[in-house]
Amino acid sequence: MPLLRIAAADGLGSALTLGSAAARNGTPAEPPAFLAYKARLSQTILARALRIHYRSQTGGLARVTFRIDAAGNVVASEIHTSSGSPYIDSLAREAVPVGAELLPIPGEFGTRAITVTVPMRFPPKYH
């Protein structure tokens, strides 16, 4: 099963890496399709996170792991690494809840599901 990792690059995060089933089997993934999917998925998750209204004096970083099916639906979601704050962890889960519709997995990736780990940084915010 492929792993998609989105790393925090600018607050909530937008850089990611993806290993497809094809790459696991020794056949390199198609770079243009890979890059396009990375960019679109990153933008989608970032947009969802930016819509979350919150207040926090300290902020924090939580890592969420979730599974996307072929249709792009989140079918499982959990905190991979806690921020240490139940509130920040709940914000991270809110960005990618079970049932959320993200992006369908491109057919050329040769897989029916991917697992995604996303570090989500919520900076201090007072209003």
Q: What domain count does the chain have?
A: 1
What pairing do the DSSP bridges indicate for beta strands 3-7 and 113-122? parallel
The answer to whether residue 32 is domain-embedded is: yes
- Calculate the CA 63 to chain-centre distance: 9
Give tens-digit pLDDT for 21-68: 445 555 554 568 877 887 888 889 989 988 998 898 988 999 999 999
The answer to whether residue 68 is domain-embedded is: yes
The answer to whether residue 127 is domain-embedded is: no
Structure tokens at 36: 């396009």
Domain CATH number, residue 32? 3.30.1150
Q: Which residues contact 31 (CB under 8 A, 6 or more apart)?
A: none
Quote the CA–CA distance of 126 and 114 in Å, as a whole number.
36
Give tens-digit pLDDT for 94-108: 999 999 999 999 888
pTM over 0.85: no
The answer to whether residue 67 is domain-embedded is: yes
Burial of 67 (0-12, 13-18, 19+ CB in 10 A): middle
Quote the CA–CA distance of 42 and 36 in Å, as a whole number.
10
Strand intervals (E) in the chain: 3-7, 15-18, 60-69, 74-81, 113-122
Structural domain of 83 = 3-122
